[in-house]
Amino acid sequence: MNCHELIDKLEKTHSLDEAEYLQLLSNDLPSYDAEYLRQRARLVTDRYFGRNVRIRGLIEITNVCQNDCYYCGLRHSNQNLKRYTLSNEQILECCRYGHESGFRTFVLQGGENPALTIEKVEEIVKLIHYEFPDSAITLSLGEWSDEAYEIFKNAGATRYLLRQETITLEHYGRLHPDSMSLENRIRCLKTLKRLGYQTGTGIMIGSPFQTVENIVSDLIFMAELQPEMIGIGPFLPHNDTPFGKFEAGKLVLTLKLISILRLMFPYANIPSTTALATLNPQGRILGLQAGANVVMPNLTIENYRKQYSLYNNKAAFGVESAEGLDLLKQELATADLYVTTEKGDFSNV
Ligand code: 5AD
């Protein structure tokens, strides 16, 4: 089959075999095939979501992290970072401001902070759930025990983001120290699905040592897992990490993968990520035009935003922020896209 036929097959059956994914991904597509893939993916997005873009308010609750991932600026060994943890009251303030502005999903994201106990997470989830019963709570707080995930679920969290980062053992070992394990990451993802969370996963595009074969394995893993949310963005170097001198991931490849993921998962919530917006001034819109249906403006108290430094120059202000919602609306309107304040749960009925 040629690439055009592969795109049609993917749209129709939502899956390809390994060799076919490799064929699609191995080379840059000729521009007519690249544009065809993008158009099919956007048409599918239009069919299920119209021209609506769902918004999620991102609250970066702590930049303390016990892990030492080689790519991430929050890694434990980075001593050039002032660490913070928001109080419950500060988190609730972020939610109040967000709710007032129309947000009906709050994403609590943070490093794996040992001081953030199960009880503390449970408490803040309950507080938010009590004060904003009409809003969804998404957690993005890394790896926990099965019991912890169950407690968070009972407290009112319904969604969880945990990227696999890479499903290839050898590649995983080049991105993470030995103290971390891919096996544990997979255990967490399976538990989240089993507990009935809307589960998000994803990868960085162009992370150091990543091969096309690695990406294909990630797609096949996702096809098995059937995540409700998929977050992908380019790898971006951070100066204070071992990967500070590596090249950033490529825009074209990131957009191509957003489109492929849309055809694989027509109903999934797929964000046009901050990393994509940081890589390229047009990144956010291009991601949406390639098949993303979500943006995640930053609701974190402004003073702390710079300290949540995953990679160099991370966008957190202006259009990328909650106070910039009007700017975001203007930007989206130029592409005939419109913010919806619906809660936007995953649904395939
Ligand atoms: N470049 C791009 N994305 C990164 N993340 C962490 N560090 C980087 C980086 N240097 C992503 C990881 C993580 C998410 C919160 O941020 O994929 O899952």
Least confident window among 16-25, 90-99, 185-194, 315-324: 315-324
- CA dist., res. 49 & res. 43, Å (int): 10
Among the residues of the chain, which ranges form H helices? 3-13, 18-26, 31-49, 88-101, 118-131, 146-155, 169-175, 182-194, 212-225, 251-264, 274-279, 283-289, 302-305, 325-333
- pLDDT for residue 179 is more than 90: yes
When pLDDT is cut at 50, 70 and 90, the band that residue 297 belongs to is: very high
pLDDT in tens, 314-334: 999 999 998 899 999 999 999
- CA dist., res. 65 & res. 91, Å (int): 18
Which ligand 1 atom lies nearest to the CA of residue 243? 10
Q: What DSSP element (H or E) covers 62?
A: strand 57-62
Which ligand 1 atom lies nearest to the CA of residue 237? 10
Mean pLDDT value of segment 215-237: 98
pLDDT value at residue 211: 98
- pLDDT for residue 349 is more than 80: no
pLDDT value at residue 210: 98
Which ligand 1 atom lies nearest to the CA of residue 311? 10
| CB-ligand 1 contact for 310 (6 Å cutoff) | yes
User: Which of 59, 70, 71, 274 best tests ligand 1's pocket when mutated (most atoms within 8 Å of CB)?
Assistant: 71
pLDDT value at residue 287: 98
pLDDT in tens, 250-264: 999 999 999 999 999
Mean pLDDT of the chain: 97
pLDDT value at residue 61: 98
Q: What percent of the chain shows pLDDT beyond 90?
A: 98
pLDDT value at residue 205: 98
Phi, psi of 137 (to 5 degrees): -115, 120
- pLDDT for residue 348 is more than 90: no
Mean pLDDT value of segment 149-160: 98
| CB-ligand 1 contact for 200 (6 Å cutoff) | no
When pLDDT is cut at 50, 70 and 90, the band that residue 168 belongs to is: very high
Q: What is each CA distance from 308 to 147, 232, 236, 301, 322, in whole angstroms?
A: 28, 18, 14, 11, 16
pLDDT value at residue 171: 98
- Gap from CA of 194 to ligand 1 centroid (Å): 25
| CB-ligand 1 contact for 165 (6 Å cutoff) | yes
Mean pLDDT value of segment 34-60: 98
pLDDT value at residue 345: 97
pLDDT value at residue 322: 86
Mean pLDDT value of segment 269-286: 97
pLDDT value at residue 111: 98
| CB-ligand 1 contact for 55 (6 Å cutoff) | no
Mean pLDDT value of segment 49-62: 98
